[in-house]
Amino acid sequence: MLVFNVLGAKNNFATHQRMASQISEIIRERGFCNPSDLECANFSRAEIARCWPMAHGLAQVELNWLEA
């Protein structure tokens, strides 16, 4: 599921979207995801530090898993 899509050459959110999809996949498999889990998915520590908050939120929306 694509939560959002930015078109064009300056897509600053491509990493966030890839990460959100990976987080969703991990959560479906294991029930949770930690930032360190993404290192095995070829994300650098810098990317994880920069993108985790937004990507994790997008994954929760994708899974319709927001806490009330």
pLDDT in tens, 16-34: 999 999 999 999 999 999 9
d(CA 28, CA 31): 6
Question: If DSSP states are collapsed to H, E and C, what string results for the chain?
Answer: CCCCCCCCCCCCCHHHHHHHHHHHHHHHHHCCCCHHHHHHHCCCHHHHHHHHHHHHHHHHHHCCCCCC
Q: Which two tokens stand for residue 50?
A: 């920069």
- Other Cβ atoms closer than 10 A to 24: 22
12 vs 50: which has the higher pLDDT: 50
Taking 60 as the threshold, does the pLDDT of residue 5 lie above it?
no
